[in-house]
Amino acid sequence: MNKIYPSAILLLFFLSACKKETPPPPKPLEISVLTVLNQDVNVESEYTGQTYGLSDIQINPRVDGIIMSQNFKEGGFVTKGQVLYTIDPLPYKTKMDEAAGALAESQASLAKTKADLDMIAPLAKINAVSQRELISAKSAYSASQAKIKASQASLENSKIELSYCRIIAPISGLIGISKVRVGDYVRPGAASVLNTISDLGDVRVRFTMSEQEFLRLFREFNKPNSSLKGSGAVVSLKLSDDSVYPETGKVSFADRQIDPSTGAITFEAAFSNPDKLLRPGQYVKIGLLTDIRKDAIVIPQRAVIEVQGIYQVYVLGKDNKVNMQIVKPGPAVKDGYVIEDGLKPGDKIAMGGTSLLKNGSVITPKVIQWQLGQTQAAATK
Q: In three state form, how does the secondary structure of 164-229 look?
A: CCEEECCCCEEECCCCCCCCCEECCCCCCCCEEEEEEEEEEEEEEEEHHHHHHHHHHHCCCCCCCH
Q: With respect to residue 8, please indicate whether it lies within any of the assigned structural domains.
A: no
How many angstroms separate the CA atoms of 217 and 185, rounded?
Answer: 53
Domain residue limits at 252: 45-54+203-292
Same domain, residue pair 117 and 235: no
Q: For the segment 314-329, what is each residue's pLDDT rounded down to a tens digit? A: 999 988 999 999 999 9
Same domain, residue pair 49 and 109: no
pLDDT of residue 11: 53
Same domain, residue pair 170 and 83: yes
Q: With respect to residue 13, please indicate whether it lies within any of the assigned structural domains.
A: no
Task: State what percent of residues in the chain have pLDDT above 90.
Answer: 62
Q: With respect to residue 123, please indicate whether it lies within any of the assigned structural domains.
A: yes
Q: What is residue 259's DSSP assignment?
A: B
Q: Which residues of 278-288 are buried (b: 16+ CB within 10 A; e: fewer)?
A: bebebebbbbb
Q: For the segment 109-121, what is each residue's pLDDT rounded down to a tens digit? A: 889 998 988 888 8
Pairing label, strands 363-367, 29-35: parallel
Nearest by Cα to 205 from 259, 257, 264, 245: 245
Answer yes or no: are the C-beta atoms of 151 and 103 closer than 8 Å. yes
pLDDT of residue 8: 58
Q: Which tops the pLDDT comparison, 296 or 378?
A: 296
How many angstroms separate the CA atoms of 232 and 228, rounded?
Answer: 7
Q: For the segment 188-219, what is each residue's pLDDT rounded down to a tens digit? A: 988 899 999 999 989 999 999 999 999 988 88
Integer CA distances (angstroms), 290 to 36, 43, 81, 350, in order: 23, 6, 44, 30
pLDDT of residue 22: 63
Q: What is the mean pLDDT of residues 227-253?
A: 86
Q: With respect to residue 7, please indicate whether it lies within any of the assigned structural domains.
A: no
- Is residue 302 scored above 60 in pLDDT? yes
Q: What is the mean pLDDT of residues 267-282?
A: 94
Q: With respect to residue 12, please indicate whether it lies within any of the assigned structural domains.
A: no
Same domain, residue pair 207 and 285: yes
Q: With respect to residue 19, please indicate whether it lies within any of the assigned structural domains.
A: no
- Is residue 145 scored above 70 in pLDDT? yes
Integer CA distances (angstroms), 354 to 207, 247, 361, in order: 41, 41, 12
Same domain, residue pair 175 and 79: yes
Same domain, residue pair 256 and 345: no
Same domain, residue pair 338 and 288: no
Greatest mean pLDDT among 81-85, 144-148, 365-369 lies in 81-85
Mean pLDDT for all residues in the chain? 88
CATH classification of the domain holding 121: 1.10.287
Q: With respect to residue 2, please indicate whether it lies within any of the assigned structural domains.
A: no
Same domain, residue pair 120 and 217: no
Nearest by Cα to 213 from 268, 253, 261, 263: 263
Total Cβ atoms within 10 A of residue 105: 12
Domain count, the chain: 4
Total Cβ atoms within 10 A of residue 29: 17
Q: With respect to residue 238, please indicate whether it lies within any of the assigned structural domains.
A: yes
Integer CA distances (angstroms), 82 to 63, 187, 197, 252, 346, in order: 18, 21, 12, 31, 68
Answer yes or no: are the C-beta atoms of 240 and 282 closer than 8 Å. yes
Phi, psi dihedral angles at 325 (to 5 degrees):
-125, 130
Residue type, 159: K
- Which of 292, 321, 337 marks a domain boundary? 292
CATH classification of the domain holding 219: 2.40.30.170
- Which of 163, 183, 218 marks a domain boundary? 163
- Which of 292, 313, 328 marks a domain boundary? 292
- 8-17, 142-151, 342-351, range with the lowest pLDDT: 8-17
Sequence-ordered list of residues with C-beta below 8 angstroms from that of 274, at least 6 positions apart, any chain:
247
Same domain, residue pair 101 and 134: yes
Same domain, residue pair 272 and 308: no
How many angstroms separate the CA atoms of 365 and 300, rounded?
Answer: 17
Total Cβ atoms within 10 A of residue 65: 19
Pairing label, strands 348-350, 29-35: antiparallel
pLDDT of residue 121: 85
pLDDT band at 1, cuts 50/70/90? very low
pLDDT band at 132, cuts 50/70/90? confident
Q: For the segment 30-59, what is each residue's pLDDT rounded down to a tens digit? A: 899 999 999 988 888 899 999 999 999 999
Q: What is the mean pLDDT of residues 159-164?
A: 96
Answer yes or no: are the C-beta atoms of 136 and 119 closer than 8 Å. no
Q: What is residue 72's DSSP assignment?
A: S
Q: What is the mean pLDDT of residues 325-354?
A: 90
CATH classification of the domain holding 175: 2.40.50.100
Q: To the nearest 5 percent, what fractions of the chain are helix, strand and coil?
A: 30, 40, 35
Same domain, residue pair 103 and 183: no
pTM over 0.75: no
pLDDT of residue 378: 58
Q: For the segment 58-85, what is each residue's pLDDT rounded down to a tens digit? A: 999 999 999 999 999 999 999 999 999 9
Total length of the chain = 381
Same domain, residue pair 340 and 242: no
Greatest mean pLDDT among 10-19, 71-80, 128-137 lies in 71-80
pLDDT of residue 9: 58
**H-type alpha helices, 126-226:** 131-163, 211-221
